[in-house]
Structure 1
Amino acid sequence: MSLYDDEAEQIDNFCEHLHMTKTQMKTDIQNRADHLCSVIQMRKQTLLDELENVCSANVQYYEKTRQRAKKQHKIIGDSLDFAKRATTCDFGGAGDVQLLDIYSEMTARLLHLIHQAESDLHAVEMFNIRLDVPEKRKEESHLEKLFGSLVQGNISCADVERVASFNIDLTWPVSLTITKSQDFVVVGKMGAFEASGRIMFYSHHGRLLHCHELESNRLPYDVVCLHDGSILMSDNWGQLSTYAADGSVVCTWQDMFKGIGRLAVTNKNEILVTSSEQHSVLKYTNEGDLLASLPDNTSSGDNILQEPHYVATNDNDDVIVSDFKQNCIFIFDSAGTLLLRYGQDNAIQSQLKCLFALCCDPFNNMLVADFPNDQIYLVSPSGQFLGCLLTKKNGISCPNFVTLDHAGRLFVGQYGGEILVFRYLSCLKHA
């Protein structure tokens, strides 16, 4: 009965997703059609203006050529008429001699005019203009490229396969990061109410390399690997500490955030750390200099984030934040502008009981750990619920964190110290 209830609930979610997709796509198709119509109208006016300009320019050219030919024609005609009249005049007894001189001079002048006119004459070419349009049989393909087409098929949540599991000496692991050498570092504490924490370095086979116990009452929040291979850890003292690959402390920056501080690293090697008491995500350089506080609440006068919990980033350097108090996921661009709020007013709201850790896969999908429900969800970049990636059937029990490495392995840390490793491949399958 429980399985059938789950199936019925999943079908309801799929139907709701289909309805939302239909509504969104109707809007997209209408907007696309309106856009293409406006482009066509603009193209029509551009062609008409271009036709008018080209034709006007060529008409002016022909008219100038006509006027020049007409002028030369008149000059030669006037000269010829003058010559005819002059040769008919009576010059008296010496007329033959005078007429011969006049005739020779006029003939020379006329020949000069004729030669000059011939040198100015040139063949007038006929100007042609036409409309270059696609072949009739290819118009549909051109339109399809411009408008797009519907791609139908089933969404596959993802392909996961459990490949390993091991236990570490931390009953309450809170974070894991993969090093440059494909080893990993885990931070946490021995129990939920333990007063001090540990940072532990393991080989990629799960063998303990280094273990460092922190000072009393100092508890780690998160750990990430920077682009240079160094390890960065946040703690409940508001500090960010950098460790070398051998486990030695490189430096510690104090007073970097207030409250709970989770970490992420952008493509530019910038450090993101949540500050639950400051209701923001702070962005630092890899040298500890503050760059920005996201989002910019000064303009709105209100706190968009109430209790930021975990933070992640994707290939676009968008900042993804889970808000523990609002039970929502917020997505901001790198400048802090809100792009998406996910988790309320949709079909998945009833399922997201407690948003814990999150990370992004290579396709910018979000993997969200739901601690009390023993599930890992997969959410698309646009906020569509793609399904439950991992459940109790996969051995999920109280997941504390989710981490992906570059080899496509998914690490899930669980209360009790168990680390599960899955082969993960996210994809969209089309019919």
Structure 2
Amino acid sequence: MTTVSDTPALKIALLGGGTVGSQVARILIEDAESLTERLGAELQLTRILVRNPQATRDYQLPDEYYSDDADEVLEGADIVVELMGGVERTRELVLQSIEQGSNVVTGNKALLATHGNELYEAAADAGVQLSFEASVAGGIPILRPLRDSLSGDKVTRIMGIVNGTTNYILDQMDTTGAYFNDALAEAQRLGFAEADPSADVDGDDAAAKIAILAHLAFHAPFSLDEVYTQGIGEVSEMDHTAAATAGYVIKLLAIAEELDDPNGVVLRVHPTLLPRDHPLASVRGAYNAVFVEAENAQELMFYGPGAGGPPTASAVMGDVMSIAKRKLRGGPGRTHTARRDLQALEIGESITRYMVVIRAADASGVLAKVAGTFAEHQVSIKSMNQTLDEASTEEDKTALLAFITHRAKESQLAQTLKATEALEEVREVLSVMRVEGK
């Protein structure tokens, strides 16, 4: 904890000594000399806030670095790096840091998706910087390009695979024919999934991330409760078979799209069919990717490891170095306060294509009747495939009808499905999935 004489020093307080926190500590200690050469100042790790100072960690420092006293850890910090997780207690500590004049780096997506607007405004009022590159897609540099490189362009849509656990599970189901529970168990064995995977599988993790991405892309405030969220728990082997037959692959996508009529942004997370030649369709295993569409830059994709200690620590250190350079130059902290009054729209306003799988009587005229019901509700069918229904019996012969539609409004599709289910020949609407890509 000493400072090289005649070399300026910035004090770094670290909140959290877990997987990512340990890697940030390692970089600050092991790469101290090279960081000082690049920055012209020393990044001095002072204290680390942990629940149990005596616990053994992935990267172990001398005991004097660890403390369970938040006030002691935060005192005098130039930069506070928050990697402890949680929301309410973390919110208090981040606000405390801002109020005492410390810049803050966080990787806490749930915190930002829940209290982001409050924290952005607090940082702006205090003249400090709140940076959060590590909160979305691990080590992939996506937030800075949205904030800086595309600031002179108009982003129209973002589609992202931003959760490695669900991408691994769906990839295994697609490529190996694995059942959902088996793929999940393997993801847990490999460390891609938590013991309680609900935040990933239910889509909540991805929802928090798209709220953050939308804030930067569209310069307006969005929160977690404004994101339509559907997880992958109901995705079946039948869905994968139907998708593959039609030339698609299923991914859990987080999507934010600005609409003109009505004016606003639809934020949604759900299983989605993508054509196999779409760039996002090739993202395998636990990797992440974010696909950005802008008026002038057109289509861009950012790809890389979406989680893990070292990749996420890399994103954290990028923020630390950016803040440190700005602080050494004497410049004010960069703010992220929203500039536009842009509302979040309901999922019913979204416009996309759909795959609908129906179990219906295997009889003459049924297909035409179902197709006519779609047409009556202004949902045009692009393609159709009929296959044998394994549940069919001699007493009730049925077939599976899989339709891919043209683009239609979500609310129109809902009316179409209601009318289709009412047909005497239709036994059940088995699956409805949205389709993106050309």
The TM-score normalised by the length of structure 1 is 0.23
The TM-score normalised by the length of structure 2 is 0.23
Q: Greater relative contact order: 1 or 2 (C-alpha under 8 angstroms, separation 6 or more)?
A: 2
